[in-house]
Structure 1
Amino acid sequence: MDWLTIALLLLFGLAFLVVEIIFIPGTTVVGLVGFGLLAVGIWFSYRDYGSATGHILLSASAVLVGALVYIGLRPRNLDKMALTQQHHGHVLDVRQADVAPGAVGRTLSALRPAGTALFADDRREVTTRGEFVDADSEVLVIGIEHNRIVVRQTA
């Protein structure tokens, strides 16, 4: 095999490994193709040019791949693909409701039987036991059932 073909196999193998390790880590297919091209190029060099040339190319390829892995696994490069920020947000969980039974609020919409009520500047979705309540009426929280705030109209 011509030395140019072997050089191109090694060059493309290293290029595929660069793409795998640095630019798109985790795809595996590109890395396997690069490793295969390197292995074929080294095998051809052993076969056609003898063990001395094969050893030189094998050593050079191992050093270059080791350097690529070192560069690709540096923390600065890992930050591009790793989750480094924590999200401290939360959702409103009615099981730990800030609206306790006995709280009084005012409806913002008509409850037919569900709607929206305002409790101390907090809008909450509420429901009744089946009765209809007009908008802008005062309601009392009678309980929290599963994920619902149950209210009734105050007298």
Structure 2
Amino acid sequence: MPWLSIAMLLLFGLLFLAAEVIFIPGTTVVGLVGFVLLAVGIWMGYRDLGTPLGHYALVTVALVAGLIVYVGLRPKNLSRVALTSVNNASVDDVRRADMPPGTLGRTLSALRPAGTVLFGAERREVVTRGEFVAAGSDVRVLAIEQNRIVVAAA
């Protein structure tokens, strides 16, 4: 009966390998368990059944595992789990440094320390250097630091 346990090890090893490649790619644990089962099954085949049957088991497992990997890695099967759509959307970048230092504006919200300021007809997100400024107050642009407009109470 050792041939039955060897056959079961090889069968479950191939099933685990198929599950890893075809059904749940990327888990790695299932594939490693399948590989260990295949290795133990082939080793037991050589040990218990002899060299010729061990060779047959090795060649058969190699062919079936190669077929499983080929079927699992075909582009048609990979498209089920791979991102195939392309995002061509764009975002309007409002980080313009067109508020020169000294520009005056009126706060639309309280600056604690960030909030919204109206510069003419343009609404902009601004920050202070840490102080709080009440809504409706006049502010002056101190500087543009990277993508932030830094203001202080006027």
Give the TM-score, by structure 1 length: 0.69
Kept in 1: contact 2:126–2:150 (CA 8 A): no
Q: CA deviation at 1:63?
A: 0.8
Identity %: 56
Q: CA deviation at 1:141?
A: 3.1
SS for the counterpart of 1:141 is: strand
Change (3 A) 1:91 1:28: farther
Matches within 5 A, 1:73-112: 73-82=73-82, 84=84, 85=86, 96-101=95-100, 105-111=105-111
SS for the counterpart of 2:69 is: helix
Structure 1 range deviating more: 53-62 or 20-29:
20-29
Q: CA deviation at 1:153?
A: 6.3
Alignment gaps of 5+ in structure 2: none
Q: CA deviation at 1:10?
A: 0.6
Number of positions where the alignment pairs a residue of Structure 1 with one of Structure 2: 151
The residue aligned with 1:42 is: 42
Change (3 A) 1:145 1:79: same
Equivalent-residue separation in structure 2 for 1:129 and 1:46 (angstroms): 76
SS for the counterpart of 1:66 is: helix
Q: CA deviation at 1:17?
A: 0.9
Q: CA deviation at 1:97?
A: 2.7
Structure 1 range deviating more: 114-123 or 79-88:
79-88
Change (3 A) 1:139 1:5: same
Q: CA deviation at 1:80?
A: 4.8
Kept in 1: contact 2:126–2:151 (CA 8 A): no
Instruction: Give the RMSD, CA atoms, in angstroms.
Output: 3.6
Kept in 1: contact 2:9–2:40 (CA 8 A): yes
The residue aligned with 2:128 is: 127
Alignment gaps of 5+ in structure 1: none
Kept in 2: contact 1:111–1:132 (CA 8 A): yes
SS for the counterpart of 1:59 is: helix
Kept in 2: contact 1:42–1:58 (CA 8 A): yes
Amino acid across the alignment from 2:128: T
